[in-house]
Amino acid sequence: MANHRVVVVGSGFAGLQLVLDLKGAPADITLIDRRNHHLFQPLLYQVATTLLATSEIAWPVRRLFRDRPEVKTVLGDVVGVDRETKTVRLRDGGVIPYDTLVLATGARHAYFGHDEWEAFAPGLKTLEDATTIRRRVLLAFERAELETDPETRQAQLTFAIIGGGPTGVELAGIIAELAHRTLVDEFRSIDTRSARILLIEAGPRILPVFTPDMSDYGAKALTELGVTVRTGVPVTDISADGVRIGEEFVPARTVLWAAGVQASRAAEWLGAPADRAGRAIVEPDLTVAGAPDVFVIGDTASVTTADGKPVPGVAPAAKQQGAHVARIIRNRLTGKPAPGPFVYRHQGNLATIGRSRAVVDFGRIKLKGALAWWVWGIAHIYFLIGTRSRFAVAWSWLWIFMSGQHSARLITQKETLKD
């Protein structure tokens, strides 16, 4: 008899961990993703802000499993699941049968019903998003250098970042350092220090998953870097000219979105119940109700811990879910009893502020400032996949640290100017 067929959709943290942990299990694994690479999303903001190159935080999935002949990597775009025939449908017409299906298709940014904002305020989920943001930020300075009208110039030098979570804080901090340090000597007509960086959070404080004390520290550290932190007022409109905060209109030619996510369509494909963010509501063992052979994990799953709290959409949670489902599948295939329900172990919250400070909350251990930044940096180097990337990122950071210069300041991807 042929091996049990496990089909995994998505090679983010959840899907990758699952496949890694299924090593040696009697299963043929097909790993499908629209991209050819696994992306280390926690450092994506550094690509967007010229600190790292794309290839330093992404690796071809195929390469990661070259020594696992039972793993087949498919570059494909899933458009549906047929639970009757137990197949996954690809956009190009391909049909892939499964015995066990794991959907780990992640999330995209969401604009709370204002999809028209996306054109003016790009979010940060893919490598292309990151190079788009990098291009916009760098071009803003270039355009301001050539602008003669003072008002237009100020709008070009105003950067509004929407969303005060870790991503928004990280983007705002590095952009402020670009303007106030890195680029200062390079322009002749403008003083880049006159740039205005706004971090806008609708809630009462930034970094809401941290303690109020750490939020305060973060706001203070950002202010010192030159960021204007605005809390308690929602964004009511975004256009090509700027952003409306409550009633006030702020001219800003660069607006970045770090405010919300929407799950992928996994729940829709399955006809499964979903929460408001579109995440499939799963059973305690991460299966879909009534389908013990279908799992949903990672950012596209709505999982609740035993104490009724939602599991956050962070990399460690995704990896734990991938590991848990691998255990279930392996036990089923080898006739062992099922493990208990999924239990989320929170490892802590981390966020950096600029290039030398951070806040780290490991529960009992709480750190802020330079030491926290080192803890953050070492943790991220450690979790990077692949020896070379660890060295490459460490080297890039060391270089930036020593020279003060960013290395990935290229405007690419689209023609910067019309031919």
Containing 257, the helix (H) or strand (E) segment is: strand 254-257
Least separation in angstroms between residue 240's CB and its own copies is 17
Contact criterion met (CB below 8 Å) for 132 and 49: no
Question: Which residue lies nearer to its own copies by CB, 188 or 345?
Answer: 188
Question: Which residue lies nearer to its own copies by CB, 330 or 406?
Answer: 406
Least separation in angstroms between residue 170's CB and its own copies is 20
Contact criterion met (CB below 8 Å) for 263 and 279: yes
Containing 99, the helix (H) or strand (E) segment is: none
Between the two ends of the chain, the Cα-to-Cα distance in Å is 60
Contact criterion met (CB below 8 Å) for 265 and 80: no
Token code pair at residue 273? 């119940």
φ, ψ dihedrals at 187, nearest 5°: -110, 150
Question: Which residue lies nearer to its own copies by CB, 333 or 392?
Answer: 392
Least separation in angstroms between residue 146's CB and its own copies is 7
SS3 81: strand
279, 297, 338, 345, 412 from 342: Cα distances, Å: 17, 11, 11, 10, 43
Least separation in angstroms between residue 122's CB and its own copies is 14
Question: Which residue lies nearer to its own copies by CB, 3 or 412?
Answer: 412
Name 199's bridge partners.
161, 229
Question: Which residue lies nearer to its own copies by CB, 18 or 57?
Answer: 57
Question: Which residue lies nearer to its own copies by CB, 179 or 250?
Answer: 179
The beta-carbon contacts of 221-225 under 8 Å, at least 24 apart in sequence, are 221/173, 221/353, 221/354, 221/357, 222/169, 222/172, 222/173, 222/176, 222/353, 222/354, 225/173, 225/176, 225/177, 225/180, 225/353, 225/354
**170 is a catalytic site residue:** yes
Angle of helix 13-21 versus helix 315-333 axis, rounded to 10: 30
Least separation in angstroms between residue 392's CB and its own copies is 7
Candidate list 118, 128, 142, 170, residue with the active-site label? 170
The beta-carbon contacts of 113-119 under 8 Å, at least 24 apart in sequence, are 114/238, 117/238, 117/257, 118/257
Question: Which residue lies nearer to its own copies by CB, 91 or 220?
Answer: 91
Binding site for its own copies (CB under 8 A): 34-37, 53-56, 58-60, 62-63, 65-67, 69, 72-77, 91-92, 94, 127-128, 131, 138-139, 142, 145-146, 183, 185-189, 388, 391-392, 395, 399, 403, 405, 407-419
Least separation in angstroms between residue 323's CB and its own copies is 24
Contact criterion met (CB below 8 Å) for 272 and 289: yes
Burial of 84 (0-12, 13-18, 19+ CB in 10 A): exposed
Least separation in angstroms between residue 187's CB and its own copies is 7
Which residues are marked as active site?
170
